[in-house]
Structure 1
Amino acid sequence: MSRDVIEQYFTAFNAGDTDTMLSLVSDDVEHHVNQGEVRCGRVAFAEFCSHMGVSYREELRDMVIFASGDGSRAAAEFVVHGEYLQTDPGLPEARGQRYVLSAGSFFALRDGKITRVTTYYNLQDWIAQVSV
């Protein structure tokens, strides 16, 4: 079951379907952002998704999903193919730069909902790609 939830989550991500993503996370979801503060709750997660939709256009490819036997944990490895659309504060200026970046996410699940999302990628590699 956890594998199905994660597949639905990433299918929704690639489709830009934030409503479906939000339906898959718990009310108390913890979102651990790469090199950022933890966002707690569905409202904070929704705000993050909204911001990402304005600043970036991304498609996750070469997805491999792993899930624990008891359904409480899952992980995914993928390649992000993106375009930097609007400048994020503290980051290089956006000019529609394209980037390709290896990344991974880790999940905790409870009662069929995602309760934690932790995503990792190499921020310095991304900065180098969009700074060219």
Structure 2
Amino acid sequence: MSRLEALETLKTYYDAFNAGDTAAMEALLADDFEHHVNEGNIRRGAEAFREFNAHMTQCYRETLTDLCVMANEAGTRAAAEFIVNGTYLKTDEGLPDAKGQNYRLPAGTFFDLKGGKIARVTTYYNLSDWIKQVS
């Protein structure tokens, strides 16, 4: 995969995210996909990511803006920085009660890509900032 192909893959991934099309996001995943989440355990495989997406769709409505995507020349590693603009829809276990609060949160994601697919997604954000915004 070239750098341009990697960037196109991530554009497709984030366009699908903003459209709420989790199936299109999941279609981009490698068989040995790993999802490393901020403040959580590693999810392995597309099925675990599908379950995560279903849960997130119930609890949050989010759109990403100010997206900046970068990739190495080989197209094997990439990163993105963005602003998460969201609404907290349903109380997520262990977090403050949801009352339809809006939030705006800087975040970043790192990717491994191989064979034209996304093999790893690692996302970082400031959880304490999010909690302050929704409390």
Q: Common fold, TM-score beyond 0.5?
A: yes
Instruction: Show the counterpart of 1:39.
Output: 43
Q: CA RMSD for the aligned pairs?
A: 0.4
Amino acid of the structure 1 residue aligned with 2:8: D
The structure 2 residue matched to 1:79, chosen from 79, 83, 89, is 83
Separation (CA, whole Å) in 1 of partners of 2:32 and 2:48: 10
Q: TM-score, length-normalised on structure 2?
A: 0.96
Instruction: Show the counterpart of 1:113.
Output: 117
Q: TM-score, length-normalised on structure 1?
A: 0.98
Separation (CA, whole Å) in 2 of partners of 1:59 and 1:125: 18
Structure 1 unaligned runs (5+)? Answer: none
Structure 2 unaligned runs (5+)? Answer: none
Percent identity of equivalent pairs: 57
Instruction: Show the counterpart of 2:107.
Output: 103
Separation (CA, whole Å) in 2 of partners of 1:38 and 1:66: 23
Separation (CA, whole Å) in 2 of partners of 1:26 and 1:129: 35
- Show structure 1 runs of 4+ deviating over 3 A: none
User: Deviations for 1:72-94, whole angstroms, at most 9, x for unmatched residues?
Assistant: 00100000000000000000000
Separation (CA, whole Å) in 1 of partners of 2:10 and 2:17: 10
